[in-house]
Amino acid sequence: MLKVGVLVSGGGTNLQAVLDAVDSGEIKNAEIKVVISNNQNAYALERARDHGIDALCISPKDYESRDLFHDELLSRIDEYHLDLIVLAGFLVTIPERMILKYKNRIINIHPSLIPSFCGTGYFGLKVHEAALARGVKITGATVHYVDEGTDTGPIILQKAVEVKEGDTPGDLQKRVMEEAEWIILPQAIALIAKEQEEKA
């Protein structure tokens, strides 16, 4: 059974897509063990509790230094002996030592077709604003492994989404979530769970 932890900062719509996929059997042989947010008001924590999943808030604001925050984040994650860490809209930079410790076991969902509109500073609505400013006709989402760079790790899955005339950044964000993110993030976890089962 693939033990999964999800890190999220906001509402947790990607988390919900994953929970739904576990419930429906689309994701087999995987279990969400913990959901961690840096935001105590994140609705994602409610979604976790409603599913009987441990929900933790670990915020940098509660620690005197970023190092102390990283110590706590890593020690709490270690307690769950996770096989996979999913960054589902986690707006805090994770420490390099965590990336190295969990090498090839951390994945991220990014709301563009990497290598377009990614890297430092590209998150949330900023990604969609940049896509519209550039005038692209196709955008989408990417699930990739996390390495030491920003959005530079190996790509697992991508899905394209049409940019429509008159789109606002909010319109585009909603369409990319509904037509790409909520589909390929569960698919990626299902693939990883299947690979782990086949190796077992």
Whether the per-residue pLDDT at 199 is higher than 90: the answer is no
Could you write out the three-class secondary structure of the chain? CEEEEEECCCCCHHHHHHHHHHHHCCCCCEEEEEEEECCCCCHHHHHHHHCCCEEEECCHHHCCCHHHHHHHHHHHHHHCCCCEEEECCCCCCCCHHHHHHCCCCEEEEECCCCCCCCCCCCCCHHHHHHHHHHCCCEEEEEEEECCCCCCCCCEEEEEEEECCCCCCHHHHHHHHHHHHHHHHHHHHHHHHHHHHHHHC
Q: pLDDT for 9-60, tens place per residue?
A: 999 999 999 999 999 999 999 999 999 999 999 999 999 999 999 999 999 9
Whether the per-residue pLDDT at 105 is higher than 90: the answer is yes
Annotation marks residue 51 as catalytic: no
Q: What is the mean pLDDT of residues 86-96?
A: 93
pTM over 0.85? The answer is yes
Domains, the chain, in order of start with CATH, read 2-199 (3.40.50.170)
Question: Among residues 70, 81, 110, 128, which one is catalytic?
Answer: 110
